[in-house]
Structure 1
Amino acid sequence: MLALRRIAATPRTVPAAFLAVRNYSVAGRAEGSVAQSKGFNKKEKAHEDQYVHNHELEQLKKLKASIEAKKAELNKLEQEHADLENNAEKK
């Protein structure tokens, strides 16, 4: 019984193969150091801003086209309504 307690009380170690290891280059640069440079950040932000601007322009074009289609539909319905009123008055 005493032997079982000793076995249960001993801490278990994890084999080295299961430990995560981060490798650094010889020059001392960490991973992703290019992404941390100022020039890259400015360029990336400019690309993102341009993409957002273009996306918003596309959305505005779609909305304007939708508005024009609804206006045309409204004009058509108003014309049909006027025609029906004219026909009703003639009878």
Structure 2
Amino acid sequence: MLAATRLTTARRAAPQLTTVAKRWTSSTKEGSVAQSKEFSKREKAQEDSYARKHEQELLKKMRDEIEKKRKELEALEKQHADEVAKSNKD
């Protein structure tokens, strides 16, 4: 007998809640703040600033590596010149 009883009140309550929710929402779309021009400009400026700083850091690292390799090359050239001079004496 209990199995034959249906709960129809739960089905009827759902559509009523959606109409109330629709009535109290604003007319603007979701994410309208992100679509504004000023927000987009500010966000683009921040992204550009971050990219510039990141590129500067990478360039500094590359310059440091180049300088390190240059010193290493000079040391190897000196060592080679010493070996050549030593072999010419013998």
Q: CA deviation at 1:54?
A: 0.5
Counterpart of 1:80, as a letter, is: Q
Aligned length: 71
- Please give the secondary structure, in 2, of the residue aligned with 1:33: coil
Taking the aligned partners of 2:78 and 2:33, their CA distance within structure 1 comes to 64
Identity of aligned residues (%): 48
- Following TM superposition, by how much is the alpha carbon of 1:30 offset from its aligned partner in structure 2, in angstroms? 1.1
Contiguous gaps of at least 5 residues in structure 1? 1-16
Match in the other structure for 2:80: 81
Alignment of 1:3-82 (within 5 A): 26-82=25-81
Give secondary structure in 2 for the equivalent of 1:27.
Answer: coil
Please give the secondary structure, in 2, of the residue aligned with 1:56. helix
Q: Distance in 2 between matches of 1:88 and 1:63?
A: 37
Q: TM-score, normalised by structure 2?
A: 0.71
Q: What is the alpha-carbon root mean square deviation over aligned residues?
A: 2.0
AA in 2 matched with 1:32: G
Listed as ranges, the gaps of 5+ residues in structure 2 are: 1-13
Deviation at 1:26, TM superposition (A): 2.1
Q: Does 1:90 align with 2:86?
A: no
TM-score by length of 1: 0.71
